[in-house]
A and B are shown apart, each in its own frame.
Chain A
Amino acid sequence: MKSKKKTAKKAPKLSPKKKPAAVAPKISSLEAALTLDVKTEGLEPVFGAAYLMMDKAFVLLSGDRAGKITVVLRPKDPKAFKPKALAEEFLSDLASQKVRWAISRNNQPVREFIAEQAVLIANGTIPPPAAPAAEEPAAEELTAEQRAEIEKLISEVESEIKTMNEKKSVPDPKGIKASWEEKQEQENKA
């Protein structure tokens, strides 16, 4: 009991806007520790706020998920993040997490119903919303004729490569056949 009082005295004051009355953070130069009542704060919001801290801090959770949970925040970069600031940020996120989870819980039956209906649409139990699907593509089996065309294509590639290598330039003094790239090059030179 004595140690608890001592802890409470040592705890620095946080911004009154962000400090829920039930939370008394214990802050040292290395870390911040917050003991949270799961019934008051909710388990999901505590986990959610802890997860969000992972870019700035190592987060250690201990305790009883039906009673009290202790969250220890240790900065990953002590120069960039001070334990007190981390505790403030955690409490701020925790408060918003409570709103997010409240909205989520309030609407759980709605989301479940929508998901169920969407599955029923997908399996055809209720009519699909869009026009009938486009005609299925033809089977990918190649006919003998198509196979022959592929072989012909490959031989064409080979002869094309030969032609490309042997191709001689045709006189074009006015640059009519010049490509866009060639024209740009000429303009830059000019």
Chain B
Amino acid sequence: MSKLTAFERPPKARPGAAAPHQFRLLGKKVLITDEHGRWALLTRSEYDRFVAGIGPEDPLWPVLQPRGFLAGAFDFDAAARRQFERSLLSWKGPGSHALLLDGMDLDGARRTVEFVFSCPGPQLTLELIFDDADAVWPVVWFIVQYARRKGEWSRRPVFLIARARTMSPDQADFLRSHGVTRCADLALDGKPDMSKAPAFRAQRARARLGPGAAEPAAWARWLEKWGFESARLLPASLDEKGAAAFASFHSGFLGWLLEHGEESNLRDEWVLGLLGGRLWNLPGMDVLEQLAYDGAGRVYTSEAAAGDAELALGSVSTLRYQDLPRLPATGAVIAASHPDNQPLCAQCAYRPFCAVPPSINKNYQGSVWGQTPSSAACSVQMGIMDRILESLNDEKCLNLLNKWSVDMV
């Protein structure tokens, strides 16, 4: 069976019965989604009835009609509004800016922050990325102060994140007192040692799985114990083996979250990002969600593109935000990121939620377009979506998503 899944005995779709939707087989259920993220989980016989055409007397009617799945009772105005709100027509600009601080000096930091603030958008997130805080501390200190003032001057909310492997208690205190979210770059391998604290106290974890990472539930408990509020797990490698190992680990991790959602404050950042349901909410989506800046002042389409000359957009000293649409790299990544332009994504039930950033495609498959059927990044995201959406009929899952402020329409 292909990634999209296929029926053994396909049903017949009668014209005028089912409104636009995509389907996916999840175990014995058929998941249907529309372009705007509305969904329903049906049994196989219900799906057959649905595509053959149902009337108001059918028990499925009150389930599917309010969700806009019935062609005969379709709310065109509401659909147009949702299309406007969730498509690129409502895009305001990249909201996330990844600043790779290694090698950045104070003047470069000032220019970078000024470029970030030249980008439109109702709010800005600056993620300061470094290994060892000692090596770049003056730059961190300056950016935190300067970005805060720039935010006040431009009357825009500014969110600051510091992602590091190590930082001293003083540095962590400074960041905490200035409202900077601390994100720990972790490597999870083997089983957790519950008594071993992370290098510094952080609200967020960016945890790369090692090849021997085991016991996801225990790792979830470890993250919970040390006060993390959210975690983004990353595969050890983006190949078939890495994707399979990640899917298994992440499924266990999500299982623990589903089980302990009521009492735990830990959230899964993959789920939060994917179920946001907008292309420009997907973490690391080139240009649409993110721009990245290196220590030399070069601007890239995303953090994953850093160092790739083909995805470099210019220098913070000379580039203007309004020049971005004219650059070939911008056009290439935006065209390649849109699910309508990817043959598999265009037919995928997860199309409203998911897309692989073109820079990831380029890193692992050699082109921004990639080849979705053999993409391990696609498999990783599809596995996550399968795990969460197959549980959508479960009240526990819906309560958890509700607690995480995920709006599953």
Bound complex: CA A161 to CA B15 (Å): 71
Q: Which of B11, B80, B373 has the most C-beta atoms of chain A within 10 angstroms of its own C-beta?
A: B80
How far is the CB of A46 from the nearest CB of chain B, in Å? 13
| A119 neighbours in B (Cβ, 8 Å) | 89
Residue among B6, B106, B153 making CB contact with A95, cutoff 8 Å: B6
Specify the chain B residue showing the minimal Cβ separation from A138. Answer: B154
A187, B87: Cα distance in complex, Å: 52
Known: A103-B13, A137-B156. A179 touches B173 (CB 8 A): yes
29 A-B pairs, CB-CB below 8 angstroms? A47-B343, A48-B347, A52-B2, A92-B7, A92-B8, A93-B2, A100-B347, A106-B15, A106-B71, A107-B20, A110-B71, A110-B76, A113-B76, A113-B80, A114-B79, A114-B83, A117-B79, A118-B81, A118-B87, A121-B80, A121-B81, A122-B89, A134-B122, A157-B138, A160-B138, A161-B137, A179-B169, A184-B197, A185-B197
Compute how far the CA of A111 lies from the CA of B351 in the bound complex, rounded to whole angstroms.
15
Task: Flag whether A99 is at the interface (Cβ < 8 A).
Answer: yes
Query: What residues of chain A lie closer than 8 Å to B10, measured between beta carbons?
Result: 95-96, 98-99
A-facing residues in B1-46 (Cβ within 8 Å) = 1-13, 15-23, 35
Contacts A93-B2, A140-B117 known; A17 to B9 CB distance under 8 Å?
A: yes
How many chain B residues touch A (CB < 8 A): the figure is 71
CA distance A106 to B137 in the complex (A): 60
Instruction: Given A99-B13, A135-B155, A181-B169, decide whether A51 and B344 contact each other with a Cβ distance below 8 A.
Output: yes
**Contact A117 B200, CB 8 Å, known A106-B13, A107-B71, A157-B138:** no
B residues bordering A, Cβ < 8 Å?
Answer: 1-13, 15-23, 35, 51, 71, 74, 76-77, 79-81, 83-85, 87, 89-90, 106, 110, 114, 117-118, 120, 122, 137-138, 141-142, 145-146, 149, 153-156, 169-170, 172-173, 195-197, 199-201, 343-344, 347, 371, 373-374
**Complex Cα spacing A107 to B72, Å:** 11
Tell me the complex Cα distance, A117–B169, Å. 55
A146–B90 CA distance with the chains assembled, in angstroms: 32
Taking CB atoms, residues of chain A closer than 8 Å to B90 are 122
CA of A181 to CA of B51, assembled, Å: 59
* Of A3-11, A60-68, A147-155, the one touching chain B: A147-155
Residues of the A chain whose Cβ atoms lie less than 8 Å from the Cβ of B71: 106-107, 110
Partner of A117 from B23, B80, B199, B373 at Cβ < 8 Å: B80
Report which A residues bind B (CB closer than 8 A): 17-18, 47-49, 51-55, 89, 92-93, 95-96, 98-100, 102-104, 106-107, 110-111, 113-115, 117-122, 128-130, 134-135, 137-138, 140, 146, 149-150, 153-154, 156-158, 160-161, 164, 178-182, 184-185, 188
Smallest CB–CB gap between B288 and chain A, Å?
A: 16
- Extra inter-chain contacts (18) besides given A89-B2, A98-B10, CB under 8 Å: A52-B3, A53-B373, A55-B373, A89-B1, A92-B8, A93-B1, A93-B6, A96-B7, A96-B10, A100-B347, A107-B18, A110-B19, A114-B79, A117-B84, A137-B155, A154-B110, A179-B173, A184-B197
Residues A118 and B343 in contact, CB atoms below 8 Å apart: no
Residue in A95, A129, A134, A164 whose beta carbon sits within 8 Å of that of B85 in the complex? A129
A103 to chain B, nearest CB (A): 5
B7 near A150: Cβ-Cβ < 8 Å:
no
B76 & A114 in contact (Cβ 8 Å cutoff): yes
Query: Chain A: which residue is nearest B146 at the CB level?
Result: A153
Task: Say yes or no: B145 contacts A153, CB within 8 Å.
Answer: yes
Do B2 and A118 touch (CB < 8 A)?
no
Report the bound CA distance from A180 to B203 in whole Å: 13
Q: Note all chain B residues with C-beta closer than 8 A to A115.
A: 83
Residue in chain A with minimal CB distance to B122: A134
